[in-house]
Amino acid sequence: MSMTSNRVANKSSGSRTKDLLERFQTVRQFSNFLCEPLSPEDCTVQSMTEASPTKWQLAHTSWFFETFILEVVQPDFRPFHPQFRTLFNSYYNTVGDQHPRPGRGFLTRPTLETVLEYRAHIDRAIENLFRNDRLDASSLEVLELGIQHEQQHQELILTDLKHLFFMNPLRPVYREAQKLGSGDATPLDWISFEEGLYKIGHHEDGFAFDNEGPLHKVFLPSFKIANRPVLVREYLEFIRDGGYQTPELWLADGWAAVQNEGWEKPLYWLSDDEEVRAFTFGGERTLSLNEPMCHVSYYEADAFATWAGCRLPTEQEWEVAAQGESKEGNFVENQIFHPSPMISGQTKFFGDVWEWTRSPYMPYPGFKPAQGALGEYNGKFMCNQIVLRGGSCATSESHIRSTYRNFFFPNARWQFSGIRLAKDNL
Amino acid sequence: MSMTSNRVANKSSGSRTKDLLERFQTVRQFSNFLCEPLSPEDCTVQSMTEASPTKWQLAHTSWFFETFILEVVQPDFRPFHPQFRTLFNSYYNTVGDQHPRPGRGFLTRPTLETVLEYRAHIDRAIENLFRNDRLDASSLEVLELGIQHEQQHQELILTDLKHLFFMNPLRPVYREAQKLGSGDATPLDWISFEEGLYKIGHHEDGFAFDNEGPLHKVFLPSFKIANRPVLVREYLEFIRDGGYQTPELWLADGWAAVQNEGWEKPLYWLSDDEEVRAFTFGGERTLSLNEPMCHVSYYEADAFATWAGCRLPTEQEWEVAAQGESKEGNFVENQIFHPSPMISGQTKFFGDVWEWTRSPYMPYPGFKPAQGALGEYNGKFMCNQIVLRGGSCATSESHIRSTYRNFFFPNARWQFSGIRLAKDNL
Amino acid sequence: MSMTSNRVANKSSGSRTKDLLERFQTVRQFSNFLCEPLSPEDCTVQSMTEASPTKWQLAHTSWFFETFILEVVQPDFRPFHPQFRTLFNSYYNTVGDQHPRPGRGFLTRPTLETVLEYRAHIDRAIENLFRNDRLDASSLEVLELGIQHEQQHQELILTDLKHLFFMNPLRPVYREAQKLGSGDATPLDWISFEEGLYKIGHHEDGFAFDNEGPLHKVFLPSFKIANRPVLVREYLEFIRDGGYQTPELWLADGWAAVQNEGWEKPLYWLSDDEEVRAFTFGGERTLSLNEPMCHVSYYEADAFATWAGCRLPTEQEWEVAAQGESKEGNFVENQIFHPSPMISGQTKFFGDVWEWTRSPYMPYPGFKPAQGALGEYNGKFMCNQIVLRGGSCATSESHIRSTYRNFFFPNARWQFSGIRLAKDNL
Amino acid sequence: MSMTSNRVANKSSGSRTKDLLERFQTVRQFSNFLCEPLSPEDCTVQSMTEASPTKWQLAHTSWFFETFILEVVQPDFRPFHPQFRTLFNSYYNTVGDQHPRPGRGFLTRPTLETVLEYRAHIDRAIENLFRNDRLDASSLEVLELGIQHEQQHQELILTDLKHLFFMNPLRPVYREAQKLGSGDATPLDWISFEEGLYKIGHHEDGFAFDNEGPLHKVFLPSFKIANRPVLVREYLEFIRDGGYQTPELWLADGWAAVQNEGWEKPLYWLSDDEEVRAFTFGGERTLSLNEPMCHVSYYEADAFATWAGCRLPTEQEWEVAAQGESKEGNFVENQIFHPSPMISGQTKFFGDVWEWTRSPYMPYPGFKPAQGALGEYNGKFMCNQIVLRGGSCATSESHIRSTYRNFFFPNARWQFSGIRLAKDNL
């Protein structure tokens, strides 16, 4: 299967399998860990069509293993519940009907308790397959995909939950905010690249999604890219300069969004008069001016870049620039759940915030979706969405890499999405 | 206060007060009883704007006592939670802001547990007021109103829950269906009334809402009214005769609803080929052909009556006809939560199903809403809605009377709403 | 047919027929006269679903005569155009399919020129039937209905056109505003009526719509009704007293409309700072403070009445009060197309503005719609609408009477709709 | 100005100017010619938000010359009408306010007659500037842009009109269909290209829009592209093979459109049982199976390509392939207003139908919008839209070239938009 075609084994097959089991267990447990502070009510409600209830995501990630591994491999497979096939099918038409997306929040049953049993049941079944050596290479590849898939949903659990909590005037606290340093105003620096042919796409050992390949050549004109994401202090200047009131800075569809949605500041900002007060996973708090900007749409990112006399990087430029950079950063393992202030001297490409590129999410040359249901994983979304790169404070460190292509619609603001500037090298 | 102006005391004040305390406690406990089969998830979700989550209703009914009694009477009143005043204010502009109605389902916090504590807190506080003799006549009247208000919400808890469960393909069972007799096809009989001046409106001892008065005279032409509601078997004939495909039978707005909503049968009916299968509080089951029709809108009730060569009664006709009739019937205390089949010889005006009249919900001559917030209880809804009479299988027996005016928009189908026929006496 | 059951002939049949022909010709020509200032473009566009293009109305009124008379009476009937039967059918399901109402404005063809030919063709055909004595009593009754129907559409042509012109920032002038006197502030007086049984409904010679009967008795408690409609100066006080910002004054659905639609003043008012500037058929002009208020919804009328410590009259009260009053007033024949200022001493019940009653539009006791298509004329709209009485400056004088029941949805503002106050006589 | 930066003069300046005047006059007259079969009504109505009334377009194209040339150049400039600046401003925020797009169809005034006077007035004024030698190089460049702009609107006048006429059940005929040959089933051939660096973008003499540059290098992998667009007969196979019922063939957003819009065939197709009947500018007619497919969205084009085991070309592939090809084709000058059947041996890249590429409409590397209002011409639409190439039967022959980038939203179907296949060269 193409998703994992580059996952060439350097290790012995046995130790690789054992690693996989461990990662399976670790990742599955981390989902449960994320839900510990949540009540059954918190896990059930859907705050908008684009978001899914936590409970649904806990079940759906289990459904993935059940449908694509257990059902294929177990000789005497019997579903945990016959209707789960439909209820927790997200969008796989090849698998069959799906419970309508806007109705995910009506599923008060199965209860959270039952869903946790469902998870445990699937975990045991998968572990049994490992124990009995029932997983061939193809199943192991799907299992790897299932693990990565669950990591993606861990991030969505967090972002969807933040949106839900924001709808509640009580402003619930998910986890108490950790004391964060205030950082300093790391100066913006430009990294230059010469024009030339560059290789883009996944080509190393290790897992990658099918949309990260095939490896291919692109010609890039000379460009410069910022050494760090845009900070709160910079975005605040844009706001105070009338950014949200100046149509010339905006894409036409962006300006329409500003007017129709009444946007005057980023999502979750409560006020920006003296200091910036925002809703976070630690409740309402004052943002550091030196932390990376977050919760902006592509439209806002683009307007900011225009205002700054720059532009957003293409995803190819971003990838070329990030290839040699350190992957250290503020990921979900930090359990801060918020971008952390910059510290001078850092060149940050990973963690904190996903960075909007200016690249529509399209197939790479030669891309072919996999056969069967898993071919629906990525390919059919290659329209109307924009690529983001680099991972965020809600992403697993083990999940990210320089070729990773995240994608959202250009009006999406509820992800930890920020801005990196670029410009032509004239 | 006008709501209770007829509540003349025959009993000594002391015994009346003791009765009231008992009723308060009984009614409050019954709300909790209704929620026993429910998970926290079930209590939290809002399935449509017109419906409210169970948890919200448990809190709102407590808010009513807190806001209109504790806050008024307690010298050292402190709210259980400062934000509840807004969160659980339904529509009292005089009290202040309200959490937006379509957002009631986003309130995963407070949890069900906290709401139950809130209830217990309010109960204790009210009981203390009784104990310390802190309730004057005016407060006792508001308390009575609060009890009646809670009974209204008990019915809404059930109807809103039924709608929520119906959105779930698992078709959850609220309580196992009790074995019901199948009844027999009670023949339809007509009760005749002469033309003349009749007295309408509440005038007896005991509580009544302000909208049931003042007592006033109306002139009614001679009319006939059916001795029982329309049965499933009769409505089935209407369907099979093409009722939902014949525009001439429908009010213009009703026909628009049929087309826009794709109505082909009553709400909750799953099929009507051989037998009628419907979603009930006991899950999917076969309906008895002899049970009263339920879950139809005013539009369907009116179209059925037209098809049958009859019309719906006015609310005045209904009240005149019901005045002398037995109040025995199938109420929520039966814990059947479904209309029960008719038995020959019964003349049923109460229980089983609310009966659509043809009367828009308007003030009676001389009606004046109360001063202050409680004046918002009924008066401001006197537009665009239609009166229903008689109570249903989800109504408390102690809550209904012949002057009781329920009201819903003409397209509403999720109440236990049925049909009684009438005609001119020519 | 019930519409005209009271149209007992006092005159000889021959002279009655001749009168009818003359009225037919006069009314048909008046439609054309109303369109003289209009361009083909003006006649074609539909500004909202509730409104219809002038051209469509010119054709539809002709379709009425073609469908309900020519098609019935002419032995060799051939339609002017085979598709007009559907295109210009407003809502008669019995006749067949209808071009969708929101799509009336897409009909650039037939051109205005063709529609005027269609009108001339129908006129000639009807005149021929008169000449050849082909119209029996039944056809003559339908013809009378057709004339009345066309008069109704003449008013709608004007109100729909005013709405269309208001959508155009050029603020087109329909006909130059005539110089109007400024009137004086006629004092408000109350006319009292004793409680008792009153007869309501049409019972005189002459045409009436089916909805005006049958004649029937109602019991009315004692009441007072104002001697004239509410004036601009009075409504201005309501505005300046914060009427549009005070939810307690409004029906719940009215307050929702205020908030959702952003209402801050009546429709067509442009400003009310120093003087009231409004859009009229003569373009933008300053309103006289002494002219009757206009272009308010039922919600606004009801809120104003509440603010004034009064209420709106029921339609029965209005009819009883108007029965003996002069029918003189400012009607469309005046060609002012705007309410005219009051002059002291007048008691005005007719003309200038339709007056919102508090009565939902419902059938009178004993009402039965006619058989066949013409039964759809009135009966099926008896839901969700409110009765208005008295006619306006856009109504024909020959069209109005004290029993006349006009009806619109409570949020409608584009009619010449105003307010008369009433109160209980305590 | 960057739009015309490549418009290097080979001719003497004088003859170039004379040519421009002639082209100005020819193009302006062609707009009027297109409207000759139309009534004032036809020119006024707006059938959907995306479309504009003919009259509005006739005025807006004149407004362009008035605003961007007369106002700049004329020393004593006075607008034709002071409110036209707002009324006929399409989307230039730099110029000022705009009449809301969905309200363009409410502008019954100015009449068509006045708009034609406006056009004549602008024509005379521009001609005077030529005569008096008042146009400097910069103004001449804007004039060229205005001519091109008017040609774009000529195509939109046709496509918007077709949509309007389709909303009318009378199915108006714009111009009688000319007798067309039936063509033959030109075999599909593939043209191969080697991988390598290619130059993309405008670089020749003559006008080009700013979005066609700058000229830049791209690396393209080896690919094949079809020698002609997809024919009706091929698309019919897709339909008969269940294309519209097979979600696996569709992009996720495309499948949502199929379901939400109820798509079962291309726009304007009336039936496809035995033969394909479709609405055309000549009324309803039978399509030739050998004519290029038309009126499909990007979603349909993409699904068809997937079904065919191919893909759509990128815009770079298309441009490379078209560079050397003949520009002969079926353009608007043919006055057929419909794609014409293929004839064997043709390799068609231009005319008949715009061809959906798979390229989102994005800026080329180094693209900078012009300063001022004309910078809003193209740049701000570079989001959410898809590039189409090649021109159609509604495009002017003098308007098209291989670098021309048209763009529409992926759900758009009312343009003459078709399909060309491509595939990787493996």
- Say if A108 falls within a structural domain: yes
Task: Say if CB B360 and CB B385 are below 8 A apart.
Answer: yes
Q: pLDDT value at position A204?
A: 81
Question: Could you tell me if C252 lies within 8 Å of chain B, comparing CB atoms?
Answer: yes
Give the relative orientation of helices B13-35 and B112-131 as an angle to the nearest 10 degrees: 170
d(CA B200, CA B322): 11
Q: Are residues A324 and A419 in the same domain?
A: yes
Q: pLDDT value at position D179?
A: 67
Q: Find chain B residues with C-beta within 8 A of A106's C-beta.
A: 45, 47, 164, 167-168
- Say if A73 falls within a structural domain: yes
Question: Could you tell me if A111 lies within 8 Å of chain B, comparing CB atoms?
Answer: yes
Instruction: Out of D112, D134, D166, pick the residue that ends a domain.
Output: D166
Q: pLDDT value at position A182?
A: 75
Q: What's the pLDDT band for C13 if we cut at 50, 70, 90?
A: confident
B332-356 pLDDT, tens per residue?
999 999 999 988 777 889 999 999 9
User: For A81, which residue in chain B has the nearest alpha carbon?
Assistant: B170
Question: Could you tell me if D252 lies within 8 Å of chain A, comparing CB atoms?
Answer: yes
Q: Find chain B residues with C-beta within 8 A of C248's C-beta.
A: 93-94, 376
Q: Are residues C284 and C139 in the same domain?
A: no
- Say if B301 falls within a structural domain: yes
Query: CB distance B384–C253 less than 8 Å?
Result: yes
Q: pTM for the full model?
A: 0.96
Q: pLDDT value at position D10?
A: 47
Query: CB distance D109–C42 less than 8 Å?
Result: yes
d(CA C338, CA C183): 14
Predicted complex ipTM: 0.95
Question: Could you tell me if A252 lies within 8 Å of chain D, comparing CB atoms?
Answer: yes
Residue with tokens 């019935």: C72
Chains near B with 3+ CB pairs less than 8 A apart are A, C
Residue ranges making up the domain that contains B120: 13-166
Q: Are residues D195 and D153 in the same domain?
A: no
Phi–psi pair at D80, nearest 5 degrees: -60, -40
d(CA A32, CA A154): 10
Task: Say if CB D2 and CB D370 are below 8 A apart.
Answer: yes
Phi–psi pair at A387, nearest 5 degrees: -80, 135
Query: In chain B, what percentage of residues exceed pLDDT 70?
Result: 96
d(CA A291, CA A312): 19
Instruction: Out of B132, B166, B200, pick the residue that ends a domain.
Output: B166
Q: Are residues B114 and B233 in the same domain?
A: no
Query: CB distance D41–C105 less than 8 Å?
Result: no
Chain pair B-C, CB pairs under 8 angstroms: 77
Q: Are residues A47 and A157 in the same domain?
A: yes
Q: Where are the alpha helices (DSSP H) in B218-314?
A: 232-240, 252-261, 298-307
A-B interface (Cβ pairs under 8 Å ≥ 3): yes
Query: In chain C, what percentage of residues exceed pLDDT 70?
Result: 96
C340-382 pLDDT, tens per residue?
998 877 788 999 999 999 999 999 999 998 888 899 988 999 9
Query: CB distance D365–A218 less than 8 Å?
Result: no
B133-180 pLDDT, tens per residue?
999 999 999 999 999 999 999 999 999 999 999 999 999 999 987 766
Question: Could you tell me if D103 lies within 8 Å of chain C, comparing CB atoms?
Answer: yes
Residue with tokens 């990210």: A400
Q: Are residues A232 and A280 in the same domain?
A: yes
d(CA B169, CA B172): 8
Q: Are residues A162 and A215 in the same domain?
A: no
- Say if C174 falls within a structural domain: no
Question: Could you tell me if D376 lies within 8 Å of chain A, comparing CB atoms?
Answer: yes
Residue range C259-287: average pLDDT? 96
Q: pLDDT value at position B243?
A: 98
DSSP type of residue B335: -
Task: Say if CB C281 and CB C175 are below 8 A apart.
Answer: yes
Question: Could you tell me if C8 lies within 8 Å of chain B, comparing CB atoms?
Answer: no
Bridge-partner residues for C200, per DSSP?
A: C216
Q: pLDDT value at position D7?
A: 41
Task: Say if CB B350 and CB B366 are below 8 A apart.
Answer: no
Query: In chain D, what percentage of residues exceed pLDDT 90?
Result: 87
- Say if C182 falls within a structural domain: no
Q: Are residues D266 and D391 in the same domain?
A: yes
D-A interface (Cβ pairs under 8 Å ≥ 3): yes
B365-374 pLDDT, tens per residue?
999 988 888 9
d(CA D201, CA B236): 70
Domain count, chain D: 2
Instruction: Reply yes or no on whether the pLDDT at B8 is more than 80.
Output: no
User: For C216, which residue in chain B has the nearest alpha carbon?
Assistant: B221
- What Å distances lie between residue A359 and A196, A252, A386, C236, CA to CA? 19, 17, 6, 56
Q: What is the CATH number of the domain that holds D93?
A: 1.20.120
d(CA C263, CA C241): 15
Residue range C210-224: average pLDDT? 97
Q: Find chain A residues with C-beta within 8 A of D366's C-beta.
A: 221, 424
Question: Could you tell me if B107 lies within 8 Å of chain A, comparing CB atoms?
Answer: yes
Please state whether the peptide bond connecting residue A110 to the residue before it is cis, i.e. omega within 30 degrees of 0. Answer: yes
- Say if A342 falls within a structural domain: yes
How distant is the Cα of B307 from the closest Cα of chain C, in angstroms?
Answer: 14
B50-66 pLDDT, tens per residue?
999 999 999 999 999 99
Q: pLDDT value at position A91?
A: 94
More confident residue, C339 or B2: C339
Instruction: Reply yes or no on whether the pLDDT at B85 is more than 70.
Output: yes
- Say if C181 falls within a structural domain: no
- Say if D180 falls within a structural domain: no
User: For A426, which residue in chain D has the nearest alpha carbon?
Assistant: D366
D347-370 pLDDT, tens per residue?
889 999 999 999 999 999 999 988
Q: Are residues B206 and B120 in the same domain?
A: no
Interface test with B, best of C195, C200, C219 (most B CBs within 10 A): C219
Q: Are residues C343 and C382 in the same domain?
A: yes
Which residue among D218, D362, D383 sits closest to A219, beta carbon to beta carbon? Answer: D218
Task: Say if CB B267 and CB B295 are below 8 A apart.
Answer: yes
Mean pLDDT by 10 residues, chain A (426 residues): 39 80 98 97 98 98 98 95 97 95 98 98 98 95 97 98 98 84 83 97 92 97 97 97 98 98 98 94 95 97 98 98 94 95 85 98 94 89 98 97 98 98 92
Q: pLDDT value at position C11?
A: 56
Averaged confidence pLDDT in chain C? 94
Three-state SS across chain D? CHHHCCCCCCCCHHHHHHHHHHHHHHHHHHHHHHHCCCCCCCCCCCCCCCCCCHHHHHHHHHHHHHHHHHHHHCCCCCCCCCCHHHHCCCCCCCCCCCCCHHHHHHCCCCCHHHHHHHHHHHHHHHHHHHHCCCCCHHHHHHHHHHHHHHHHHHHHHHHHHHHHHHCCCCCCCCCCCCCCCCCCCCCCCEEEECCEEEEECCCCCCCCCHHHCCCEEEEECCEEEECCCCEHHHHHHHHHCCHHHCHHHCCHHHHHHHHHHCCCCCCCEEECCCCCEEEECCEEEECCCCCECCCCCHHHHHHHHHHCCCECCCHHHHHHHHCCCCCCCCCHHHCCCCCCCCCCCCCCCCCCCEEEEEEECCCCCCCCCCCCHHHHCCHHHCCCCEEEECCCCCCCHHHCCCCCCEEECCCCCCCCEEECCEEECC
More confident residue, B11 or B308: B308
Instruction: Reply yes or no on whether the pLDDT at C8 is more than 50.
Output: no
Query: CB distance C41–D41 less than 8 Å?
Result: yes
Q: pLDDT value at position D406?
A: 98
Question: Could you tell me if A94 lies within 8 Å of chain D, comparing CB atoms?
Answer: yes
- What Å distances lie between residue D300 and A58, D202, D247, D295, D359, CA to CA? 35, 30, 12, 10, 15
Instruction: Out of B134, B151, B166, pick the residue that ends a domain.
Output: B166
Q: What is the CATH number of the domain that holds B274?
A: 3.90.1580.10
Q: pLDDT value at position B183?
A: 77
Q: Are residues C239 and C385 in the same domain?
A: yes
- Token reading at B2: 């006008």
Q: Are residues A158 and A204 in the same domain?
A: no
Q: pLDDT value at position C180?
A: 65
Question: Could you tell me if B254 lies within 8 Å of chain C, comparing CB atoms?
Answer: yes
Instruction: Reply yes or no on whether the pLDDT at D181 is more than 80.
Output: no
Question: Could you tell me if A362 lies within 8 Å of chain D, comparing CB atoms?
Answer: yes
Pairing of strands C417-419, C354-360: parallel
